[in-house]
Amino acid sequence: MTQAIAPRSRKVRVLATLGPASNSPDMIAALFEAGADAFRINMSHGDQQSKVPVIQAIRAMEKQYGRATTILADLQGPKLRVGRFAEGKIELVKGQTFTFDRDSTPGDATRVELQHPEIFAAIEPGARLLLDDGKLVVHVTEHDADRIVTKVAVGGALSNNKGLNVPDVVLPMAALTEKDRSDLTFAVEQGVDWIALSFVQRPEDLMEARGLIKGQAALLAKIEKPAAIERLEEIVEQCDGVMVARGDLGVEMPPEQVPPLQKRIVEVSRRMGRPVVVATQMLESMIKSPSPTRAEVSDVATAIYDGADAIMLSAESAAGDWPIESVAMMNAIGEAVERDPAHGDRVHFTVMKPDPTTADAMAEAAKGIARTTSAVAIICFTTSGSTARRVARERPAVPILVLTPKLETARRLGLLWGTHAVHTRDVESFEDMVAKSKRMALRHGIAKAGEQIIVMAGVPFRTPGSTNVLHVVRLTGDELKNYTNEL
């Protein structure tokens, strides 16, 4: 029998991106031991076959440590780029006229090819085009089906194939490219737990991905376009989770608008019961430095105080010089913030009004019972994970131990605040439920003899969405005497 691993001492989850600095089995295990709860595989880099041994290493580690571990595959999404220049690069000067057209001839100081007909169809006079991650800015003065004439507002060097952002219009383009469709199919076949969809603009963008996934993975919407903010609640309603993708969001919008938008996205996601990840440049300096700046630490802490479910490392763990130290720092910040006596109050800045359902009422009641009694944990029996999501939405002060007969459910819950998910056999009766709750609470170190736990489940058992039982029970310490393998 595999030795059970105790839950993390913090409730916020840590999502670590894997890459050249961290793809090996030994490094993946080291990141897990340092505090990574879930792993992001960026489909923008490398071919599909290079991802197979990485996924296999995570699954092997999962068996080694006896803990369901989460894999998120992040699709590249539609990338907009300018064409090539005859001299490799040019210099744009403020005030000059510069044209984007459909001519494949290499560009010069006055024009360059743009291979995206969707932009020509949607662009309007006055709209901005942002080049090279927003370093250069041009304003559209006129356009037709084959030409976009602009005036340079912020100049600088522009070289071959640099990225282009169009923040002021909704582009009539599919959220999934051919590459994305292929990568999504591959990721689902490999058994990943979450699919992240990039550059979501509207709720309809999620439908094709949902159809291709066919329920085999959870769908996460990356909020990184201004158009997505305008229909935020509709988008959150259509997905299983949300990412505050601050990189492109900060390019397409003034940077001072990103912090309030981050809070809004977290608030809406929490209110609607979707796990929310805060991502991009969280510990950016740790790509090259063994320690972060104080501002970066404060940034991470703010996301935790706001109640984000997960905080993500990108290049810090994927390609940086200090991947283990970056994860360990995330872990340390999470533990320090959650030890703050004020954390419990601040994490409830979002007012949670339960939906008028029995399950939501019981989740709210479980939080209240934990707060006013000596209960030390909430035990959730769930098939789909919905009970755990409802309880985590309330941000209770005690750990949430989730017991599920579906391994895929246990894996998907790795992005959910405060949960420790365990894949185990289902229960057959109320008495079995109570006895199993006691055994698993003791075995996983979340309760000791003499302490009380809160048990939540649905009767009849094995009926998803039927949460209707809330039971408080005290452990005696005798529960493990006749213990047998639970898996």
Q: What is the predicted pLDDT for the residue at 262?
A: 96
Q: What is the predicted pLDDT for the residue at 457?
A: 87
Query: Between these two residues, 487 and 382, which has the higher pLDDT value?
Result: 382
The domain spans of the chain are 13-77+176-340, 89-165, 358-474
| CA 444/CA 437 separation, integer angstroms | 11
Query: Between these two residues, 486 and 365, which has the higher pLDDT value?
Result: 365
Confidence of residue 353 (pLDDT cuts 50, 70, 90): confident
Tokens of 274: 């979707």
Confidence of residue 345 (pLDDT cuts 50, 70, 90): confident
Q: What's the CATH fold of domain 358-474? A: Pyruvate Kinase; Chain: A, domain 1 (3.40.1380)
pLDDT at residue 1 above 50?
Answer: no
**Percent of all residues in the chain with a pLDDT value above 70, rounded to a whole number:** 94
pLDDT at residue 2 above 80?
Answer: no
Tokens of 111: 């024009």
In the chain, the N- to C-terminal Cα span, in Å, equals 9
Q: What is the predicted pLDDT for the residue at 458?
A: 78
pLDDT at residue 404 above 70?
Answer: yes
pLDDT at residue 359 above 90?
Answer: no
Q: What is the predicted pLDDT for the residue at 3?
A: 46
CA angle, residues 342, 260, 266, in degrees to nearest 5: 65
| CA 456/CA 7 separation, integer angstroms | 19
pLDDT at residue 4 above 80?
Answer: no
Backbone phi and psi for residue 386, each to the nearest 5 degrees, phi listed first:
-65, -35
Backbone phi and psi for residue 60, each to the nearest 5 degrees, phi listed first:
-65, -40
Rg (CA), the chain: 24
Active-site residues, by number, are 40, 81, 222, 280
Q: pLDDT by residue (tens digit) across 411-461?
A: 999 999 999 999 999 888 889 999 999 999 999 999 999 999 999 987 777
Half-sphere exposure of 56 (CA within 13 A, CB side): 6
CATH superfamily placement of domain 89-165? PK beta-barrel domain-like (2.40.33.10)
pLDDT at residue 486 above 60?
Answer: no
Torsion of CA 342, 348, 350, 356, to 10 degrees: -170
**Percent of all residues in the chain with a pLDDT value above 90, rounded to a whole number:** 79
Q: pLDDT by residue (tens digit) across 225-274?
A: 888 999 999 999 999 999 999 988 888 888 899 999 999 999 999 999 99
CATH superfamily placement of domain 13-77+176-340? Phosphoenolpyruvate-binding domains (3.20.20.60)
pLDDT at residue 24 above 80?
Answer: yes
